[in-house]
Structure 1
Amino acid sequence: MINLNAIESYLLIHGDCMEEMKKIPDGSIDLILCDPPYNLAKYSTGNMKFNWRSEINNDLAQWDLKELSPADFLDEFKRVLSPTGNIFIFTSYHMIGKWHEVFDKEFDTFQFMVWHKTNPVPNIRKSSFLNSCELIACMWNKGHTWNFSKQSEMHNFIEAPICMGQERLKSPKHPTQKPLKVLKHIIKIASNENDLVLDMFMGVGSTGAAALSLNRRFIGIEIDQEYYKASLKRLESFKSIKTSP
């Protein structure tokens, strides 16, 4: 069992989240904020190549080939979430209904947010809509933390560009790295300072970087060795109490 008293800032774990979450004490997590695989493998058409520009990354990481169901997470999410806890899950259009079907009856409220990408990947062939919106499933316990001060802040819509520039890690390049602006917005409204934030699909540590910069504590779990090492390096400027081998 993880000793939460030893985590002054963050704990990074290399392993399978379905096993590692079992080591987290009951009712200890204030915010679950994660980006699980979208199960898009069957829709992928591969990278798009052009003779006049660099290819557009439309391919998928190996971890998206393993389909995960929202039902797989229900018991552990309910067990580890605190009475004042919130859950925010990045998801896709074809998965939002599945998250609702499983979680709506289990929590006080189920809603969703929309992240509008101001610079989505172009659709060169103009064959369909731009993929400019991403959905975030939101659910919480009745006494959940909610840090809004005025109505204008309470929209379930946020605009931000996809992760680019210096924020975007070049090596390893994670295909679904989320921008800090979106992550910080969620963390601010759904947790308090010193609260414990969990991301069991940590990737390259974006949720951790956002949480720690806002004076939250963080537990990150990542199964991919390369991404795990990248997270260790990215978060090394923050004080670490322990890392898992």
Structure 2
Amino acid sequence: MNHEPNKIELKKNFMLPQGDTSTLIKQIPDDSIDLLLTDPPYNLRQYSTGNINMSWRRNINNDLEAWDETEFQPHDWLADFKRIIKNSGNIFVFTSYNLIGKWHAAFDPEFDTFQFMVWHKTNPTPKVYKTSFLNSCELIVCVWNKGHTWNFISQKEMHNFIETPICMGNERVKNPRHPTQKPVRVLKHIINIASNENDVVFDPFMGVGSTGVAALEMERKFIGFESNQAYCEAAEKRLQNVSSPSFEP
């Protein structure tokens, strides 16, 4: 008897299955993803000192979401990431200082190139106690093989460094609020460099769907997974409000 899971077929410009990514990813066909762009857990909860109550501004949230308690190991995702990405595809993963070495150990031997980008946040959360640096930078793992899609924009714009404010204003989803929502501007920059129109962008940890918004606005297709129902519903609403371009069948 054939127990192979049903395969996901992208028949419109986006699909947002809700559920456990480790299970759903088995339904992604081999060699079908042009760009894997995602923001998985950082495992930072163990370093949290708890919320800081403020009288002059909103409280500083150091109590990270429950999903960050789950130990995330890059090596556990290597086989599926490698299976689903096209040889011409790219993998970009937001991460933190405590995991960058694990990403390198797992992915560098399996791909032709392993590099990183730095996203500098111009308005990071202030350090109330002034005992250490502000956490103003996040790292982005960049992985590909020879012959990968690469749109070199200009020498000035191709630094492995991008600087923007954190996600705020009308772009920030208020209900439910996602603590690590990424600015669409940062995601568009990566999508522009590492994929082409009509390509399939995949985010297995999509949160409130910012990668999908960026992908659709840049005339790509999108597949996103999310286990949290409220986040998934927020993502669906956001993507439905993006003007849908015409795609080739």
Any gaps of 5 or more consecutive residues in structure 1? 241-245
Range that drifts further, 95-104 or 140-149: 140-149
Aligned equivalents of 2:48 and 2:17: distance in 1? 30
Aligned to 1:32: 36
Aligned to 1:163: 167
Give the 5 Å matches for 1:43-62: 43-62=47-66
Q: Is the 8 A contact 1:91 1:136 kept in 2?
A: yes
Any gaps of 5 or more consecutive residues in structure 2? 1-5
Q: TM-score, normalised by structure 1?
A: 0.95
Aligned match for 1:14, one of 15, 18, 30: 18
Q: TM-score, normalised by structure 2?
A: 0.93
Aligned equivalents of 2:211 and 2:114: distance in 1? 22
Aligned to 1:227: 231
CA-CA distance at 1:46 after TM superposition: 1.4
The 4+ residue runs of structure 1 with deviation greater than 3 A are 1-4
CA-CA distance at 1:237 after TM superposition: 2.2
Identity of aligned residues (%): 63
Amino acid at match of 2:167: C
Q: Is the 8 A contact 1:194 1:216 kept in 2?
A: yes
| Residues paired across the two proteins, number | 239
Q: Is the 8 A contact 1:7 1:217 kept in 2?
A: no
SS at match of 1:30: strand
Give the 5 Å matches for 1:1-245: 1-4=6-9, 6-238=10-242, 239=244
SS at match of 2:59: coil
CA-CA distance at 1:57 after TM superposition: 1.6
CA-CA distance at 1:3 after TM superposition: 4.8
Q: Is the 8 A contact 2:42 2:95 kept in 1?
A: yes
SS at match of 2:115: strand
Aligned equivalents of 2:234 and 2:40: distance in 1? 18
Superposed CA offset, 1:127-175 (max 9, x none) = 1101011000110121111101432222000000000000001100000
Range that drifts further, 45-54 or 61-70: 45-54
Q: Is the 8 A contact 2:114 2:144 kept in 1?
A: yes
Aligned equivalents of 2:153 and 2:180: distance in 1? 31
